[in-house]
């Protein structure tokens, strides 16, 4: 009888662990499906070869289309007023400073003030990633992006994957690795 009572807590723990694993799998699959549905127009969109060159707030010229043929380009659309961006931006900044990654980081600040305000924000946070200022929201409207944060991973002129909302470092690294393996 004593051996039977020892197994009861184990069975309860196994049941809990099983339920947690099932929840994680179902949550991951449903959130991935929802994300794909929300961004279905982006996955079909190709960055145009005639897309203008963007200028960062530091005067750097960036051509996402051309650059995506040389290396994978991660485009991070964010805003200073975005709560989730406060969690994602430090990770993007970290990725930007990793020389072992063959990824070009380009960020687009949507409706976040003028260049001077953006410089002040970046300095306050210690971010050094390149920023294209879309204060008028023209670029994000053209690309039909309505949420911040949104991450686009572009390779060979085509959007390979999109993510909107919070993302974990392992999840983002897995996406980058998957795109590089294609």
Mean pLDDT of 136-158: 85
Residue 122 in contact with residue 109, Cβ under 8 Å?
no
- pLDDT in the model for residue 162: 84
In this structure, the number of other CB atoms found within 10 A of the CB of residue 28 comes to: 11
Query: What mean pLDDT is predicted for residues 27-40?
Result: 60
The CATH-assigned architecture of domain 47-181 is: 3-Layer(aba) Sandwich (3.40)
- Report which listed range, 19-28, 31-40, 43-52, 77-86, is most confident: 77-86
Average pLDDT, the chain: 83
pLDDT at 1: 47
Spatial distance between the Cα atoms of 99 and 38, rounded to a whole number of angstroms: 33
The SS3 assignment for 159 reads strand
Q: Which residues of 135-147 are buried (b: 16+ CB within 10 A; e: fewer)?
A: eeeebbeebebee
pTM of the model: 0.76
């Amino acid at each position: 009888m004593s051996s039977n009572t020892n197994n009861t807590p184990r069975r309860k723990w196994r049941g809990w662990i099983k339920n947690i694993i099932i929840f994680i799998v179902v949550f991951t699959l449903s959130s991935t499906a929802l994300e794909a549905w929300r961004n279905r127009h982006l996955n079909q969109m190709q960055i145009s070869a005639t897309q203008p060159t963007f200028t960062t707030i530091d005067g750097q010229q960036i051509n996402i289309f051309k650059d995506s043929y040389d290396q994978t380009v991660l485009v991070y659309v964010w805003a200073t007023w975005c709560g989730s961006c406060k969690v994602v931006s430090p990770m993007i900044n970290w990725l930007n400073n990793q020389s072992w990654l063959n990824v070009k980081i380009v960020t687009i600040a949507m409706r976040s003030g003028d260049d001077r305000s953006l410089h002040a924000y970046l300095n306050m946070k210690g971010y050094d990633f390149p920023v294209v200022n879309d204060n008028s929201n023209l670029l994000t409207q053209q690309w039909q992006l309505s949420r911040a944060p949104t991450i686009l991973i572009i390779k060979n002129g085509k959007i390979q994957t999109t993510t909107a909302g919070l993302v974990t470092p392992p999840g983002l690294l897995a996406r980058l690795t998957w795109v590089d393996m294609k």
